[in-house]
Amino acid sequence: MVSKTLPFTKQKIEEIAAEYPTPFHVYDEKGILENARKLKEAFGILEGFTEYFAVKALPNPFIMKILKKEGFGADCSSLPELLLAEKVGIVGEGIMFSSNDTPKEEFVKAKELGAIINLDDISHIQYLEEAAGLPDLVCFRYNPGALKEGNTFIGNPEEAKYGFTREQLLEGYRTLAEKGVKRFGIHTMVASNELDPQYFIETARIIFEVIAEISGELGIHFEFANLGGGIGIPYKPDQEPVPYDVIAKGVKEEYDRLIEANGLAPLKIFLECGRVITGPYGYLITSVRHLKHTYKDYVGTDACMANLMRPGVYGAYHHITVLGKENAPTTHKYDVTGSLCENNDKFAIDRMLPDIETGDILAIHDSGAHGHAMGFNYNGKLRSAEILLRNDGSFIQIRRAETVDDYFATLDFGNLKSFE
């Protein structure tokens, strides 16, 4: 069983909160680094392995800079994410640009940066060519359809809006070759928060088989296969982390059988994980503002869905620790809520916790991916600060909390004066 421990004490959080009031997200640099190195070590058995961190999971340049030092690239899906990568010095083929319904200016910027451009649809070949010209290296996103079963979070591939069919891949690569493109890659992404390591090994097998088929039919050589991301994390205490080495060894076996044995090596292997890299090392820290006793007992916090929307939107489980009461018996059943005018603004429903008092501080676990990044301003809620807990126990603010001035910044009050 996984133990949901904390990398900080109540005293450390109180020290941070004295300077940066709750709510805020705090990230554990030591944990992120150790995890990144563990992933690199496991997948280092694969040819030319590179991890492209999915910026969407935690779009903060401080986090990206930490991972850049470990040799990670950046998986970007928009112009702001491309600009973030550029600002931390990730450029060229250190960027994998995977997007859909992409505007021309984003293709232009991606090509300007020398990013690997991963096209989502066969019509985007002409669109990219007209917008920015075709680069030397082009990648296609493959949707395996009925060949691959999806999971709860991303759905069945046949119903997903992403990617090329098998037939479109063949036509697309043929078109690229005829247009003079010499370098080719292939990508797929068919799962999200998946805990079964065999799922990713099967994905590798499918993509390697497609590479073998298309290489044979068109006589082209693939430089890399991006197996996507989607490795899940143990949100619940009874779940186990996905063993990196099991996936890596399984992928290596399929590589040897389908790529090496067919004379298709070298083929570099890429991943674009986000959640598993930073998710377990982030915590939403929130203070108990009110206790409400009606038909149920409610713990009202100073955070809300604007700070972490996954429980309210997906019904996702996030573990909660009451700081200073880690070893107290969990004898009381609560709904843990925020102040948004939506009844699904709940971090936990019927959760057994220690007896809670006003002023207690809660740590909501596993907010290090798709936490702050998915924030919003409904009800005029302001997004919180992000704090990095350094290796030496010090801390630094890496994003300040929003202010009312930020919320009003895009409103044109000048025109309001003359509006009737």
Q: Which residues are catalytic, by number?
A: 341
Cα–Cα distances (Å) from 147 to 63, 101, 398, in that order, read 36, 25, 43
Check: CB of residue 183 under 8 Å from CB of residue 116.
no
Cα 96 versus chain centre, distance: 14
* 269: nearest Cα among 277, 260, 261: 260
Within 10 angstroms of residue 316's Cβ, the number of other Cβ atoms is 16
* 375: nearest Cα among 344, 402, 336, 351: 402
DSSP-derived 3-state class of residue 288: strand
What is the spatial distance between Cα 145 and Cα 332, in angstroms, rounded to a whole number? 47
What is the spatial distance between Cα 275 and Cα 58, in angstroms, rounded to a whole number? 8
Peptide bond into 23 cis (omega under 30): yes
DSSP-derived secondary structure letter, 185? E
What is the spatial distance between Cα 36 and Cα 228, in angstroms, rounded to a whole number? 16
